[in-house]
Structure 1
Amino acid sequence: MATADPRTQAPPPSPPKRRTRRPLPAAAPGRVWLTALAVGAVAAVLAYLLAPVSPPPPARFGGHNALAEDVAAVVDPRDVQGLVVARFPVDAPDAVEFAWGGTLDGAVPVDEDTPFETASVFKTITAMTLADMVENGETSLDRTLAEVFPDAEFADPDVAGATLEDLATHHSGLPTAPDGTTLRSRILPALNLTDPYAAAEPPVEALATTTADRPGEFQYSNLGFSVLGAALAAESGTPYPELVAERVLEPLGMDDTVIVEGVPEGGAAPNVVPGARTEPWDNTAYAPAGITTWSTAADLARFLTAVADGTAPGTGALDTVREDVAFPGVPADHPSGLDGFDLGLAWMTSDWPDVGRVTSHSGGTLGTATMVAFDDTHGVVVMANSMAVDSLGLSRELLKDDPEPLTGGLPVWLTTVPTVMMTVIPPVLLLSLLLRRRTLLTQRPLDRLRVVSLSLGSLSWLAAGQRAGDWTSTPMLLWALAAGVVAAAVTVGVWFLRGAPTENGRWRWLHVPVFVLSVVFSLTLGSLMLWGLVAAYA
């Protein structure tokens, strides 16, 4: 029987190759975890005691009983850092009542003599200065910017042809901030709540690079009002701060209304939500728009009572110049009344539901909410140093016969859930890596790159939680515990850096670039958040 030649037989198939599991580094010994536990406990206590963001207890309201009761019925006290309200009968302007609640800094209470940022409410003072000058024949509403600034450079003939009336009614087409300052004035402040006008060009110089968008249509513009203030100074030959003091502030006895960089002594520093300080807006060139302008509820009550009874200088600013104007994007029948209002010089008059015909102007920065409003019977002033206060809604309720609690704000979970996620998830991922010696989601083994990237990520998100989180409805204890977990995990991570492999990824060509991107993102995020915190509390 013939036998097969083994040399001609095909070799048996090779067994399938098995992917070898990469070895895990040795676990950290107990003494390392005990040390980490002690470090984490100390870090948690210090984080709780020294956290920059420290929400105050819910505000308690005092002052004139009836007004204080109305404010308490309308406002959620958890939304208040500091709040002062004035109300008066139009036919008895000397009978002003005040109510207040909250503090400057968690300790010093506010009252009617506390300086707050006016924000855009100051536009009405700029507009009344214009009206006073027009009444005195010192300028006219149809004067163009090219006529006022004959030596200025203009990037757009539509801007050069804009009139003082266009500026005072937001119909010049100028944007809120100058062109060319998008990063520093829009993107960064939106990320870390810093001053959007810190790097803005002087208003008149900005005209050389700024173009108009839809001139002749309503477009709210801080730049436009700042150019208007510079134009009034040029027309009168008097610097803007001295001009408005001479024309409006001094005649009305508004001695505590000032233009100043920073927070004046005893002033209510701005907060995005109670306890979360933001940087004041400090470019005095934009004071005509309400930036770097501070006043008290007592001063604004003097101002509004004189406006309501027609004795204030420049009351012609209240005369309707443009009818049935609408804020872009405001739906019909919006309860704010901004879907169709009559516009004077800055002043807006519209129908408020359950109130009637109201003349008003609001103001707001990244940490301030203000309002002045009056109807046929009453006037109200609202000054708050927290964006959480709905100044328009509060004003509307205080003008009603039966004030009701404000509703329709953001649901609590909409701010609490992101705060919890940015605070809890990164520490959990880092701690899981060090306990299991592999990542929680992708099950990749621990290495130095992962220890470094997850540690930096956890630290940067801790800073983001402080800067961008809402701690009025989320317990601060959560952030302190997260800080303790991160501190403990980093302590263990430092031990692992001695013996763990530098890189233990499945695909090195991908792992290293992802690591670099992760580190760059964490450093950028952390730097932005720390910048915002330092700017706010410096």
Structure 2
Amino acid sequence: MKSPATDPVSTYLPRLAGSPIGGVTLEELASHRGAVPPFPPPTMARGLWGLLTNTDQLSGDQLDWVLDQAAAMPLFGGRGTVQYSNLGATLLGWALASAAEQPDWQTYVTTRLLTPLAMTHTRFAATRDQIPPDAPRGRLVGGRQAVQGVSPVYQPAGSSTWTTPEDIARYAQAILRGTAPGLPALDPRFAGEQAASPGDPRIGYHWFTLTVAGRTVQWHNGATAGYTSMLVIDRLAGRAVFVVGNSTRPVDPVAIRLLTGVADGPGSTDVPMPVIALAATTVALILIAGAGFAAYRARTRLQLVRATAGALLGLSLWRVAGPWDHAPGLLWILVAAATAANVMLGIARVRSRPWHRPRLAALSWAGAVLALAAAGLVLSMGLH
């Protein structure tokens, strides 16, 4: 069954009937012009927690729940403006599967794309046992190993796609030969609204078009926790480049430069330090400095214990969430060594002094226990 691009998505996903998102057309979803929010609000909140704790927050969402959430959501801004939406891509994938009378999106895309192109190593993990056993592990900003996400719902948005360079090469070659299913999706149809991107970005059905040094290329990138990727294609020159990385650093500029010889395009070669890493560093250094001063001023043993616990909290936070793909790890070692030296000097000063002041014992013990518990929590989050 062919699904006209102008059909509203509720035609194929009846649970969305009568809702603002249900009236968005398939074409608007495919071009990210439907004003669909990025994710349902509860998923957004859990996603933020997942970033902080390095845990998978998408695996629990089920299709009916996502559809009910979407049916209750208002549009996010005005239709007609490009605003990238993973929820929109998800709804489109399931709508296309429904239109093709397939039981799920994975069956649909396997029948439509993977089997015709012999992409036998590409899979979509709905559960952890579907992750390839030899899959490389991703890394987060601080060098931590990223949790490998899975999802039974968000697969059309690329939440848990596993593939190989060989399979992507088959796909790119089919595009260059003009034999890939859905080839018209690459054709630019609408003006893009990406002010940060140079050249002349435009969008087709999920594919972006960019002019770099007089050459017109089509591209799409991807990013999940600990992984980034970029496929860029110059159909006129008959060339394509695919770059994938197991870190959070974008590979877009690398792919653009490999294809065109120009360091230009989406993203930037000068990757800014992530906001979370900056915030964590600021908080951690304040904790470490404050604890160091408290250790220097300690007049009882318990005051020193509390200061040491605060320093451990700061050091733990900095180690787990600091910008260690931008800054040398030696910096953390030096600060930790200076902190340890300060604590040792404090031990020498208070060794013959009482454990606590009589009226402040409970408060001092509570502060020390809370700081140690917080440090343990931060470290446990970093060891996921």
TM bucket by the smaller chain? Answer: 0.7 to 0.9
* Runs (5+) with no aligned partner, structure 1: 1-136, 440-444, 506-510
Q: Which runs of 5+ in 2 are unaligned?
A: none
Q: CA deviation at 1:466?
A: 2.2
Structure 2 CA distance for partners of 1:497 and 1:314, relative to 1, 3 Å: farther
* Corresponding residue SS for 1:311: coil
Q: CA deviation at 1:324?
A: 1.6
Alignment of 1:191-270 (within 5 A): 191-198=52-59, 200=61, 202=63, 203-216=66-79, 217-235=81-99, 236-260=101-125, 261-262=127-128, 263-270=131-138
Paired position in structure 1 for 2:259: 399
User: Offset at 1:369?
Assistant: 1.6
Deviation at 1:161, TM superposition (A): 0.7
Q: Which residue identity does 1:253 align to in structure 2? A: A
Contact 1:358 1:373 in 2 (8 A): yes
Rounded to whole Å, the distance in 2 between the matches of 1:169 and 1:346 is: 5
Is the contact made by 1:350 and 1:359 (CA closer than 8 Å) also made in structure 2? Answer: yes
The equivalent of 2:319 in structure 1 is 466
Does the Cα contact within 8 Å between 1:433 and 1:446 map onto a contact in 2?
A: no
| CA-to-aligned-CA distance 1:195-220 (integer Å, 9 cap, x gap) | 35345553323223322112412211
Q: SS at the partner of 1:181?
A: helix
Distance 2:182 2:316 in 1: 48
Q: 1:86-165 to 2 correspondence within 5 Å?
A: 137-150=1-14, 152=15, 157-165=19-27
Corresponding residue SS for 1:191: helix
Question: Equivalent residue for 1:278?
Answer: 146
Q: 1: distance between equivalents of 2:203 and 2:122? A: 25
Pair 296,146 (structure 1): closer, same or farther in 2 beyond 3 Å: same
* Number of residue pairs matched by the alignment: 370
| Map of 1:166 onto structure 2 | 28
Tell me what 1:105 maps to: none
- The 1-side partners of 2:286 and 2:157 are apart by 42
What does the per-residue CA deviation read over 1:335-362, in whole Å, with 9 as the maximum and x for residues that have no partner?
A: 3x4xx4332110111212x251111111
Higher relative contact order (CA 8 A, sep 6+): 1
Q: Is the 8 A contact 1:177 1:185 kept in 2?
A: no
Instruction: Give distance in 1, aligned partners of 2:338 and 2:290.
Output: 11
**Equivalent-residue separation in structure 1 for 2:46 and 2:307 (angstroms):** 29
8 Å CA contact 1:355, 1:396 repeated in 2:
no
Distance in 2 (CA, whole Å) between partners of 1:153 and 1:427 is 52
Alpha-carbon displacement from aligned partner over 1:114-154 (angstroms, at most 9, x marks no partner): xxxxxxxxxxxxxxxxxxxxxxx43221222322122x156
Superposed, which structure 2 residues align to 1:17-32 within 5 Å? Answer: none
The answer to whether the Cα contact below 8 Å between 1:180 and 1:209 also exists between their aligned partners in 2 is no
In structure 2, the CA distance between the partners of 1:206 and 1:407, relative to structure 1 (3 Å rule), is closer
Letter in 1 for 2:88: G
For the 8 Å contact 1:178–1:206, the answer to whether it is kept is: yes
1:176 is matched by which residue type in structure 2?
P
Quote how far apart the aligned CAs of 1:419 are: 8.2
Aligned residue in 2 for 1:343? 203
Distance in 1 separating the partners of 2:276 and 2:58: 27
What residue number does 1:356 align with? 215
Aligned equivalents of 2:214, 2:142: Cα separation in 1: 29
Q: Which protein is bigger by CA-based radius of gyration?
A: 1
State the 1:370 CA deviation: 0.6
C-alpha displacement of 1:306? 0.7
Distance in 2 of aligned mates of 1:416 and 1:220: 24
Question: Given the alignment, which residue of 369, 383, 388 partners 2:228?
Answer: 369
Q: Is the 8 A contact 2:61 2:153 kept in 1?
A: no
For the 8 Å contact 2:228–2:247, the answer to whether it is kept is yes
TM-score by length of structure 2 reads 0.80
Preserved CA contact (<8 Å) 1:171 1:218: yes
Q: How does 1:64-103 map to 2 (within 5 A)?
A: none
Output the CA distance in 2 between the equivalents of 1:430 and 1:254: 56
Query: Percent identity at matched positions?
Result: 26
Q: What is the letter of the counterpart of residue 6 of structure 2?
A: D
Aligned counterpart, 1:88: none
- SS across alignment from 1:285: coil
C-alpha spacing 1:174/1:495, structure 2 compared with 1 (3 Å): farther
- Following superposition, the deviation at residue 496 of structure 1 comes to 8.4
Cα distance in structure 1, aligned partners of 2:278 and 2:95: 48
Select the residue among 162, 167, 178 that pairs with 1:310: 178
Provide Cα deviations, 1:503-525, integer angstroms capped at 9, x if missing partner. Answer: 569xxxxx96x997897687557
TM-score by length of 1: 0.59
